[in-house]
Amino acid sequence: MHTPSPSPAAALLDAVRHDGFSFATADIMQPLLESAGELTDWPAFAASWNRLGPDAYLAAKGRFRRRRHATFMARAQGPVELAAHQAHYQSLHYNALQGDIQRWFEPIEPAVANGASLRSILGFCHGFFGALSPGITQWHVEVHQFRIEASSGTAGEPTPEGSHRDGVDFVLVLLVDRHNIASGTTTIHTPDGKPLGDFTLTHPFDAALIHDPRVFHGVTPVTPLVADEPAHRDVLVVTFRAAGNGL
C-alpha cells in the first residue's frame, strides 16, 4: 500500500520535532509563506535593508553589522500585533558578548512592519511554531533585520558571539539577499558541540527553522568574492517565545 508523502509543512514540522531544526530551500519556503498571506511588497521589503542603521553595540569590536528591530505580541488564537518599540535584551547566559544589556536599535520602518511580506512571514511562524507548542497561549515575538557587511580586509561576522542559543522557544532565519559574498554557512550543534547539520542560505527565501532550547546555531564569517566591491548578507530573524519567560 502506497503511503502518501507528507506535505512540505508537515515534513518541516516533523524534522523540527525530531531533530530540533530544519532547513528549507526557497522552492519549499516561498510557497509556505504565500499560503499564509501575500508577498506583493517583497521588492520594497528587500530594499528596506538598504536603510538599516549601524549596530552601535559592535562598533568597538570593529565588526560591521546593520540592523533594525521590532517587537510583536500574539495570542494562540489571535493575530500577531505590533507592540510598542522596546529594547532587545538577552542575559549573559545566552549572549556572553552582549548579555545583560538593554540594546536599543532603530525600529523597523512602519511600512515594513505593517507590510504584506512581514505579516505573511509572521503569520506562517505563528501557525508553524504554534503547532509545535500548542500549550503556549501567548507569544512574545521579536523581528530583526540584519545586514552583515564584509570587505577585503575584514570578514563579516553574522554571529560574533559564536555558536549560541537565543534564549527563546523558536527561531526563523530567512535569507533576503546576498551579494558578492562567500560562505555564511549556518551550522547546528548539540549543546556539547557535536555538529548536527549545516546549510548555506544561498537564495532569497532559503530558511532555517530552529527549536532553540534543544540546539545551538551559528553562522560562519562571510568574505567578498570580488575584493573591492560591496559585499553583504541580508537576513530576517524572527523569534517566538512564551510571553512572560525571562531571558
pLDDT single digits (tens) 154-183: 878 766 667 788 889 999 999 999 999 998
How many whole angstroms separate alpha carbon 220 and alpha carbon 182? 10
Q: Is residue 92 scored above 60 in pLDDT? A: no
Confidence of residue 185 (pLDDT cuts 50, 70, 90): very high
| Of 24 and 55, the one with more pLDDT | 24
Grid coordinates of 194: 557535536
pLDDT at 245: 56
| Of 65 and 192, the one with more pLDDT | 192
Sign of the Cα pseudo-torsion (184, 186, 191, 193, in order): negative
Q: Structural domains in the chain?
A: 12-242 (2.60.120.620)
pLDDT at 166: 85
Q: Among 45-54, 82-91, 174-183, whose mean pLDDT is lowest?
A: 82-91
- Average pLDDT rounded to a whole number, residues 122-139: 96
| Of 228 and 208, the one with more pLDDT | 208
Confidence of residue 93 (pLDDT cuts 50, 70, 90): very low
Backbone angles phi, psi at 129, to 5 degrees: -70, -30
Q: Which residue matches cell numbers 557587511?
A: 149
Q: Is residue 99 scored above 60 in pLDDT? A: no
pLDDT at 63: 55
Query: Strand locations in the chain, DSSP E?
Result: 21-24, 53-54, 65-75, 80-82, 88-90, 101-103, 138-150, 170-179, 181-183, 185-189, 195-200, 207-211, 216-219, 222-224, 231-242
Q: Is residue 194 scored above 60 in pLDDT? A: yes
Confidence of residue 2 (pLDDT cuts 50, 70, 90): low
